[in-house]
Amino acid sequence: MRFTEKLAAAWAANNSLVCVGLDPDLQRLPAHLSRDAAGIATFNRAIIDATHDLVCAYKPQIAYFAACAAEDALRDGIDHIQRNYPHIPVILDAKRGDIGSTAEQYAVEAFERYGADAVTINPYMGHDSAEPFLRRADKGVVILCRTSNPGAADFQDLDVGGRPLYEIVAENVAQKWNGNRNCMLVLGATWPEQVARIRAQVGDVPFLVPGVGAQGGDVEKLVRAGRTANGTGLVINSSRAILYASSGEDFAEAARSEARKLRDLVNRYR
C-alpha cells in the first residue's frame, strides 16, 4: 500500500488526525526506566501500545535516538508498530537535504535501514536533492514549508517577487514535485493564517502540522484553516504533551488520556 493510501486508511480506521511524536528524552523518562537505549525502547513500545487506536501516524524524531547512540531503539519502535499495528504509518522525522548522491543514501537510511513509510526533508537545496525521495512512489516525502518555530520567518517569509518564499515552496511541491502523489507539507500549527493560505493554494496535499500541545497552537483555528473538504488532510503532531503527561509508572495510561483528549478536540472541529 502506498503511503498516502495507508494514511487515508488510518484517518478513517481510528477516526483521528493525531500523530504522536516519539521524542524520547533520556532526562524525562519515567524514573523506573533505565536511562539508556533499552529504557527508550521500553518507553516507546508502551506509548505505542497505549495510543495505537487513537492516532493516524507515529513520528519518531531521529535526533533523540542518534544523540544517545540508541538507533537500535528507533528500529525496535518502528518494528513494533509494523508487527503489531501495520495499518499505522511511520514518518521518520530526519529533515534530510543534501546533494543528489548523498540524498540517495539518506533515502536508503529512511526507507531501507529503518523501514519508515515517509521521511521529512528540507527543500532548500532544490529538486535534485529531493528527487531520490520523490521517485519512491510508495513512500511519503514530507517537505518543510512554513514551520512552527519562532525563527521560521527569518527565511521562510522572505519576499520573492511579491510573495513569501514558503508560498513558492508550496507551489513547487504541489505543481512540480508531486508527480507520484506522495508529497506532504510541514506547516506549523502556530500560523493558522498561513495554513489556510497554503490549503487554498495546493488543494488536497496533506499537511504534517507540529506545534499543538507544548508549543501552544490553537486546535480550532488550525483545523478550520487546514482541513480538506472531507474533514481530513491533516496529520496533527503532539510529542511532549503526550509522552510526558506523567513521570510515574502510569506514564502510558496518562499518554493515552492526553492522546484521546487531543483526538476528540480535533474531531470537534472537523
Domain chopping of the chain, boundaries:
3-268
Res 17 pLDDT > 70: yes
The cell numbers describing 218, all together, are 490553537
Percentage with pLDDT > 70 across the chain:
98
- Amino acid 104: pLDDT: 97
Residue 267 exposed, middle or buried by CB count within 10 Å (0-12, 13-18, 19+): middle
Quickly state the pLDDT bin for 150 (edges 50, 70, 90): confident
Res 215 pLDDT > 70: no
Q: How far apart are CA 22 and CA 44, in angstroms?
A: 7
pTM: 0.96
Helix (H) or strand (E) holding 14: helix 3-14
Quickly state the pLDDT bin for 36 (edges 50, 70, 90): very high
- Amino acid 214: pLDDT: 55
- Note whether 156 and 146 are within 8 A (CB): yes
Res 27 pLDDT > 60: yes
Q: Quick check: is 95 catalytic?
A: yes
| CATH superfamily to which 3-268 belongs | Aldolase class I (3.20.20.70)
Q: Which of 95, 139, 221, 261 is the catalytic position? A: 95
Res 216 pLDDT > 70: no
